[in-house]
Amino acid sequence: MLKGLPDRPLYDHEIDALIDSDAVRLAFPAMPQSLRYDETDTRRIHDLFLFLDNRVAAVAYDETEGGWIVVANEQGDRPYDAAFDALVEYRGYVEPDEDKVREVVKTFYDVEHDTLDDIVSE
């Protein structure tokens, strides 16, 4: 799953390419803190949620590890919520404002945050 990701944070357009693959149903930046700007003022994505056939993976770009790592690979009743919680814990993020998370999700893929666990079970 992570072999296809470059050894750097992603650009916005690269997320679209992930979705074009057969394995990924939906992918988007995990939360507002996942979006950071580099030295050229270009937005880069450091954390992703990947919605796969029956699970949600939270992945993070980790400079000390030299690439992308799987933080969570969740299945079950609420895989998105479990992946979200694992990423917040891994990164040490302050729990983001729910409205800001919804805004990130809606902006990237016009998907309502409240329906994300349902996407996995479709």
Residue 122 within a domain: no
Exposure of 101 in the CB half-sphere (CA atoms within 13 A): 19
Beta pairing class for 47-51 and 43-45 = unpaired
Beta pairing class for 67-74 and 43-45 = unpaired
Residue 7 within a domain: no
Determine the pLDDT at residue 97.
Answer: 62
Range of the domain at 36: 12-110
The 10s digit of each residue's pLDDT in 4-26 is 788 999 998 888 888 777 788 88
Determine the pLDDT at residue 33.
Answer: 84
Region of 108 please: left (phi>0), alpha (psi -120 to 50) or beta. alpha
Determine the pLDDT at residue 1.
Answer: 47
Higher pLDDT, 22 or 71: 71
Total domains, the chain: 1
Residue 23 within a domain: yes
Determine the pLDDT at residue 9.
Answer: 94
Residue 90 within a domain: yes
DSSP string, 82-118: HHHHHHHHHHTPPPPPHHHHHHHHHHHH---GGGHHH
Region of 41 please: left (phi>0), alpha (psi -120 to 50) or beta. left
| pTM listed for this prediction | 0.78
In this predicted structure, the answer to whether residue 122 has a pLDDT above a threshold of 60 is no
Residue 5 within a domain: no
